[in-house]
Amino acid sequence: MNIITTVLVLTACCYHISADDKVRYDNFKVYRVVPKSNEAVEILRALEESDNVYDFWTEVKGVGHPVDIMVAPHLKYRFSDALAGSQFDVEEYISDVQKLIDNENPKAGRAVGLEWSSYHTLDEINQWLRDLASTYSQVSLIAAGRSYQGRDILGVKVSFKSGNQDRTVFIESNIHAREWISSAVSTYILNELLTSQDSNVRQIAESHDWIFVPIFNPDGFVYSHTTDRMWRKTRTPYSTCAGADPNRNWGYHFNEGGTSSSPCSETYRGPYAFSELSTNTLSEYIGTVAPQLRAYIAFHSYSQLLLLPYGYSAAHQDNYNDLYSVGVKAASSLAQRYNTRFQVGNIVEVLYVASGGSMDWVKGTFGTPITYTYELRDTGRYGFILPANQIIPSGQETLDSLVTILQEFDKIL
């Protein structure tokens, strides 16, 4: 998606943004639209495929399932005409996206290093990872991949004692650039594993090895900070638009539904599996540690879901029953602190078909037993622009659920 200041132009073929410009979303609105008939579903799908004239924050699933759509002010009446009639329930969910962006991330009084009362840049996160490796003997810095624009994809390995290598937990976040809460939560959890005195946290921390890669999509993440807060994809240039969806680009059941062939689409899969340098190099690194992986956990936002593989099929495969039953217990643990409710289920059944995802690739290629994708807070009132004051509560409740997942699987595996 490319936009010039206050005018939405989601087809990036037509306009250029200079390095000094920053996209604004003044008076952009987000509507929650519920289709009430199959015809209404098809109308929404046609809008979704219309070269990203509208930004679908959530994808179209079916009759009765809400869809969140961001609409530019100059398209308001066209959008109203498209949804005219009685086939839709339409509610304005966010009245001004820019106001949320302006209030999302407090900057004043930020301490040196990482803290979790505000969102951080790639440079700040990477420096924090380097500092951890120099401060804690249990932490070592890793280079997990490389991006199209030449950025290192950094992570850390945490190991409290020998003998845990076959109980390694891999944590992925920010594969989608605009989902800032995902890396904020993953770094919060990493910090807790190193510093918490809670007995349950210490138990899972010290009985597993850990690999954290907070920013899977560094080029897009940087762009979401410097230029376009709503940017989702990579920054690889294609014929008409920049970027592919890095969570539709993995080589397991690639291009088997829930993707787009248009480079201007938010779900553009790329010209071929692993076309993105970031996914290609990350897959190579994951392959080197895959024999030791006990768990692969991916963090996304938003919708408050705990998702199980697979994204290409609704079929219940592998150890679905164990994943589901433990997932339900984890969702219950997550809800205890702040009453935040998560739904548990297969990606296709709960959301939609989404082939070519990282979790599918890890599960399908290596048979990793514990595989979950979190769609973190909230359910749409803030969407991707979750205020920074929700980072710590979200991190706390997510860690509660992760404790449950690992402790419950200790009884199974």
Q: Is the pLDDT of residue 1 over 90?
A: no
**pLDDT score for 113:** 77
pLDDT digits (tens, 9 = 90+) for 72-119: 999 999 999 999 888 999 999 999 999 999 999 987 555 567 899 999
Residue 376 DSSP label: E
CATH 3.30.70.340 describes domain 2-103: yes
Would you name the residues annotated as active-site residues?
A: 375
Q: Is the pLDDT of residue 8 over 70?
A: no
pLDDT digits (tens, 9 = 90+) for 201-247: 999 999 999 999 999 999 999 999 999 999 999 999 998 899 999 99
Question: Are 314 and 257 contacting, i.e. CB atoms less than 8 angstroms apart?
Answer: no
β-strands 343-346, 305-308 pairing: parallel
How do the domains of the chain map onto residue ranges? 2-103, 110-410
**pLDDT score for 111:** 56
**pLDDT score for 109:** 52
C-beta atoms surrounding 113 within 10 Å: 11
Using the structure block, give the residue that is written with the tokens 């098809």: 42
Residues 6 or more apart whose Cβ sits within 8 Å of residue 115: none
Give the containing element (helix H, strand E) for 410. helix 391-410
Over residues 341-363, the mean pLDDT reads 96
**pLDDT score for 10:** 38
Give the containing element (helix H, strand E) for 305. strand 305-308
Cis peptide preceding 302, ω within 30 of 0? yes
Confidence band for 7, pLDDT divided at 50, 70 and 90: very low
Q: Is 257 exposed, middle or buried (0-12, 13-18, 19+ CB in 10 A)?
A: middle
pLDDT digits (tens, 9 = 90+) for 13-27: 333 444 458 999 999
CATH number of 110-410: 3.40.630.10
Question: Are 337 and 407 contacting, i.e. CB atoms less than 8 angstroms apart?
Answer: no
Residue 75 DSSP label: G
pLDDT digits (tens, 9 = 90+) for 236-294: 999 889 999 999 999 999 999 999 999 999 999 999 999 999 999 999 999 999 999 99
Question: Are 294 and 170 contacting, i.e. CB atoms less than 8 angstroms apart?
Answer: no
CA 47/CA 54 separation, integer angstroms: 7
Cis peptide preceding 378, ω within 30 of 0? yes
Least Cα distance to 43 among 84, 71, 92 occurs for 84
Least Cα distance to 158 among 121, 200, 192 occurs for 192
How many CA atoms does the CB half-sphere of 35 hold within 13 Å?
Answer: 21
The pTM score is: 0.94
What is the secondary structure of 4-37 as a DSSP string? ETTEEE--TTS----TT-----TT-EEEEEEE-S
